[in-house]
Amino acid sequence: MAAGTAIQVQGVSKRYRLGQGPYLTLRESLSRLVHKGSVSKEEVWALRDLSFDVDEGEVLGVIGLNGAGKSTLLKILSRITEPTAGRSRTRGRVGALLEVGTGFHPELTGRENIFLNGVILGLRRSEVTRRLDEIVAFAGVEQFLDTPIKRYSSGMYLRLAFAVAAHVDPDIVIVDEVLAVGDVQFRQRCLGRMSEFAREGRTVVLVSHDLGSINQICERALWLEGGRLRLDGPSAAVVDAYVRDAVPRGAVSTFDPEPNKPIQLLSAAVSAADSDANDVLRRDRPFAVELRFVVRERIPGLSVAFILETSQGVRVLDEDWGPDMGGELLPAALPQAYSARLVVPPVLAPGDYVLVGWVGTQAGAIVQREVLAFSLLPGPVDTSEAVQRNRVVQPGVRWEVEEIEALDVTEPAADSHA
Amino acid sequence: MQPAASEDAAEARRWVDNEPSGKWFPGIPVAELWAERELALILALKDLKLRYKQTFFGVAWVLLQPLVAVLIFSLVFGRAAGLPTDGIPYPVFAYTGLALWFYFTAAVSSAAQCLLDNKELVAKVYFPRLLAPIASMLPGLVDLAVSLPVIAVFLAIWTVAPGLALLTLPLWVLATVVTALGAGLLLAGLNVRYRDVRFVLGFLIQAWLFATPVVYSISLIKGSWRYLYALNPMASIVAGFRWSIAGGPPPGLEVLVSGGVVVVLLAVGFLYFTHVERSFADVI
């Protein structure tokens, strides 16, 4: 069938009321009936006059900051909630995956949960029966099929939940941040299935904070901002514009005062180290980490260090202000505030990092804690495939590949047969 | 070629709209409910499977609950209070009433809780919300079915022979389901918005029990009071159910009053539920 339209969103707005709990007590409701004047509550427009079409077989990514209306949009597309104004239309069977394992019950066995979840996701029981072996094999839980899933490890649970979701048969697949759970392998598997859905000609709408995935899977992306459509176009262009504009630049965290401690952290910050840029943390530019703290006691041999880890916990830097650098804090007066700053050259791969601050002596740490999390964004030349590779450093290696004279390869081969 | 080329592909390919419904009563999506009937079944099955997991007596509770109640009621009301039972031996009298009453309360309270118990589903999956309270009507029917042979044993022990009236038994059961659904829809809809329902439910069921001839006979209510009494539909239904099994005085014209109330209750339940269901995902 030629590509018709699968989804039409026409001037959709959605209003939520704030300033009240998620639900009212009867008393509040009665008093609102009596005092008609005082009903005006704070309102939030999660979506504002949103319009777009999605063709059959198109793979659409939706990006935006938290609170931009992404999840609300998916809820309206999947008819979980209705718009306050406008209309959303879908054609074909809609499979919405807003959460992995919706409706799973811990007391039920794997098999029972497969049926429960399958039917919830829109399969018929006969269809689940037909696909049961496939689902079980996909999840790799053959031996535990009749065990209550409360005894499953969290990995098994996720695999089973995703296995069911991967075997539904919708025309329109709607996915929210499912890729954000589980380990790297699991995420890759989810991603793979999404691409497969797309290759099978299904319409896919995918919300993710993982811009690399959006780039990789989607040909088109929507950028939502404050409930409105900011940009609609090829995903590479939209993601690029979004990264330049919307991702927070650098990061700062501050700490609560602890007046009784000998050492107290004040703040930690990360920022682009070169001055020309607009403060975006990018893998191809140096960045600086800074820790501010107060020393309240004279402690011999007091020094400071930074540890940098990937979000998967791989330690990539462990740098102390060592004795060879004259590294001892000798406060002139007490208490004394310090700023320790370290510039990291552009060697790390794009990704999420965690900064650990350390203040202590040879005898050990006096303060050691995660002080900051931040992301290094891809450089301008990085392809989405390059971003997806599982690596920690990307120091900009130099390749030297050239043609050299042909060697006589027949001789050693003949040798080996002798 | 379309990927989902199942037999009802053409059916599934129609445009489905999601827009604010201006109407007060958007209607009952009968076709959709039927298409999604397996969801109701599997939710009911889940309920059944979960109910007696990790209990010592397991499914025996289905029988133990009413039997213990019969024992207590027989001692208190049969012996001590000496209530009239229209010539029916008290254990038979009590059990016929209690079996149906237990179904009714189980169905009403599980319907009242059905959306909150499946909060995750309501917030994360689309399905016709009416399915949840409808599914709540089903598990209790299994218990009721199990209790029927026990009633037969009771009848044999106390040598009570049912007459032709037994043929009306399905009618009374159906009426109970409809009444429970009406009340359940109303309570389920209210419960999403007002958690007060949980506290009211206990009192409501208790009061309702006193207003229903479960432990006492409907013949205690004389003359035209009967019509007022029949405003509680369960009064006529329990009395009718008992009459169909164990005999006694046949139901009178007050049944019509109860029938009317059942119809109104069901209509109000549907109206209210479908009116508020659109905002369930937002407020739950």
Does B55 contact A at CB distance below 8 Å? no
Chain B: residue whose CA lies nearest to A85: B20
Which pLDDT score, from 0 to 100, does residue A27 have?
Answer: 63
Chain A contact set for B196 (CB, 8 A)? 25-26
Which pLDDT score, from 0 to 100, does residue A179 have?
Answer: 56
For residue B226, what is the enclosing H or E element?
helix B225-229
Q: Kindly determine whether residue A83 and residue B20, on different chains, have CB atoms separated by under 8 Å.
A: yes
Query: Are residues A215 and A302 located together in one domain of the fold?
Result: no
> pLDDT tier at B281 (50, 70, 90 boundaries)?
confident
Chain B: residue whose CA lies nearest to A74: B124
Q: Is the C-alpha dihedral spanning B70, B72, B74, B77 positive or negative?
A: negative
Q: Kindly determine whether residue B278 and residue A81, on different chains, have CB atoms separated by under 8 Å.
A: yes
Q: Kindly determine whether residue B38 and residue A85, on different chains, have CB atoms separated by under 8 Å.
A: no
Query: Are residues A81 and A195 located together in one domain of the fold?
Result: yes
In a domain, A221, yes or no: yes
Q: What six digits make up the tokens of A400?
A: 């030297």
Q: Kindly determine whether residue A83 and residue B50, on different chains, have CB atoms separated by under 8 Å.
A: no
Q: Kindly determine whether residue B19 and residue A86, on different chains, have CB atoms separated by under 8 Å.
A: yes
Q: B23-40 pLDDT, tens per residue?
A: 777 778 888 899 889 999
Q: Kindly determine whether residue B12 and residue A92, on different chains, have CB atoms separated by under 8 Å.
A: yes
In a domain, A241, yes or no: yes
Chain B contact set for A170 (CB, 8 A)? 4
Q: What is the CATH number of the domain that holds A197?
A: 3.40.50.300
Average pLDDT over residues B177-197: 93
Chain A: residue whose CA lies nearest to B132: A120
Q: Kindly determine whether residue A80 and residue B46, on different chains, have CB atoms separated by under 8 Å.
A: no
Q: Kindly determine whether residue A23 and residue B283, on different chains, have CB atoms separated by under 8 Å.
A: yes
Query: Are residues A114 and A195 located together in one domain of the fold?
Result: yes
Query: Are residues A183 and A261 located together in one domain of the fold?
Result: no
Chain A contact set for B194 (CB, 8 A)? 23-26, 29
Does B278 contact A at CB distance below 8 Å? yes
Residue A220: closest CA among A246, A196, A198, A200: A198
A54 bridge partner residues: A7
Q: Kindly determine whether residue A119 and residue B42, on different chains, have CB atoms separated by under 8 Å.
A: yes
Q: Kindly determine whether residue A201 and residue B195, on different chains, have CB atoms separated by under 8 Å.
A: no
Provide the Cα torsion A115, A121, A123, A127; round to 10°: -50
Q: Kindly determine whether residue B125 and residue A1, on different chains, have CB atoms separated by under 8 Å.
A: no
Say which residues have a Cβ less than 8 Å from residue A202's Cβ, sequence separation at least 6: A57, A170, A171, A172, A173, B3
Using DSSP bridges, classify how beta strands A59-63 and A220-225 pair: parallel, antiparallel or unpaired: parallel
Please give, rounded to a whole number of angstroms, the shortest distance from the CA of A208 to a CA of chain B: 17
Q: Kindly determine whether residue A26 and residue B124, on different chains, have CB atoms separated by under 8 Å.
A: no
Which of 233-262 (B) contact A at CB < 8 A?
none
How many domains is chain A built from? Answer: 2
> pLDDT tier at B213 (50, 70, 90 boundaries)?
very high
Q: Kindly determine whether residue A81 and residue B42, on different chains, have CB atoms separated by under 8 Å.
A: no
Query: Are residues A185 and A318 located together in one domain of the fold?
Result: no
Query: Are residues A203 and A72 located together in one domain of the fold?
Result: yes
- Helix boundaries (H) for B36-89: 37-51, 61-73
User: Which member of B4, B49, B282 has the closest CB to residue A108?
Assistant: B49
Query: Are residues A240 and A345 located together in one domain of the fold?
Result: no
Say which residues have a Cβ less than 8 Å from residue A56's Cβ, sequence separation at least 6: A1, A3, A4, A5, A6, A91, A92, A171, A201, A203
For residue A270, what is the enclosing H or E element?
strand A263-272
Domain residues for A379? 251-388
In a domain, A330, yes or no: yes
Query: Are residues A271 and A198 located together in one domain of the fold?
Result: no
In a domain, A60, yes or no: yes
Alpha carbon B95 to chain centroid distance? 17
Per residue of chain A (418 residues), give pLDDT as tens: 446 899 999 999 998 876 444 455 566 666 666 655 444 457 788 999 999 999 999 999 998 876 789 989 999 999 999 999 999 999 988 888 888 778 889 889 999 999 999 998 888 999 999 999 999 998 888 899 999 999 998 888 888 988 898 888 889 999 887 655 666 677 777 778 888 888 898 999 998 877 777 888 899 999 999 899 999 999 888 887 887 675 544 577 788 788 888 899 998 888 888 765 556 788 888 999 999 999 998 888 889 999 888 876 678 998 988 777 778 888 888 889 999 999 999 999 988 888 888 998 888 888 888 788 788 888 777 776 777 777 888 888 888 998 888 776 665 554 545 4
Q: Kindly determine whether residue A94 and residue B46, on different chains, have CB atoms separated by under 8 Å.
A: no
User: Which member of A103, A112, A170 has the closest CB to residue B4?
Assistant: A170
Chain B contact set for A119 (CB, 8 A)? 38-39, 42
Preferred mutation among A18, A51, A88, A119 to probe B, highest tally of B CBs within 10 A: A119
Q: What is d(CA B267, CA B182) in angstroms, rounded to the nearest whole number?
A: 7
Please give, rounded to a whole number of angstroms, the shortest distance from the CA of A81 to a CA of chain B: 6
DSSP letter string, A211-262? HHHHHHH-SEEEEEETTEEEEEEEHHHHHHHHHHHTSPPSEEEE----TTSS
For residue B113, what is the enclosing H or E element?
helix B90-117
Chain A: residue whose CA lies nearest to B195: A25
Which pLDDT score, from 0 to 100, does residue B3 have?
Answer: 42
Q: Kindly determine whether residue A93 and residue B4, on different chains, have CB atoms separated by under 8 Å.
A: yes
Query: Are residues A141 and A46 located together in one domain of the fold?
Result: yes
In a domain, A327, yes or no: yes
Preferred mutation among B126, B201, B274, B276 to probe A, highest tally of A CBs within 10 A: B126
Query: Are residues A184 and A266 located together in one domain of the fold?
Result: no
Which pLDDT score, from 0 to 100, does residue A279 have?
Answer: 64
Each domain of chain B, given as residue ranges in start order, spans 28-47+57-283
Q: What is the CATH number of the domain that holds A331?
A: 2.70.50.60
A87 bridge partner residues: A10
Q: Which amino acid is at A60?
A: L
Domain boundary among A228, A245, A262: A245
Which pLDDT score, from 0 to 100, does residue A22 have?
Answer: 46
Say which residues have a Cβ less than 8 Å from residue A58's Cβ, sequence separation at least 6: A3, A6, A203, A204, A219, A220
CB B242, CB B214: distance < 8 Å: no
Query: Are residues A140 and A289 located together in one domain of the fold?
Result: no
In a domain, A165, yes or no: yes
A176 bridge partner residues: A207
Chain A: residue whose CA lies nearest to B281: A81
Q: Kindly determine whether residue B18 and residue A125, on different chains, have CB atoms separated by under 8 Å.
A: no
Does B22 contact A at CB distance below 8 Å? no
Preferred mutation among B6, B11, B34, B42 to probe A, highest tally of A CBs within 10 A: B42
Query: Are residues A144 and A44 located together in one domain of the fold?
Result: yes
Query: Between A and B, how many residue pairs show a Cβ–Cβ distance under 8 A?
Result: 127
In a domain, A64, yes or no: yes
- Res. B7: pLDDT tops 50: no
User: Which member of B3, B121, B193 has the closest CB to residue A103?
Assistant: B121
Which pLDDT score, from 0 to 100, does residue B63 have?
Answer: 79
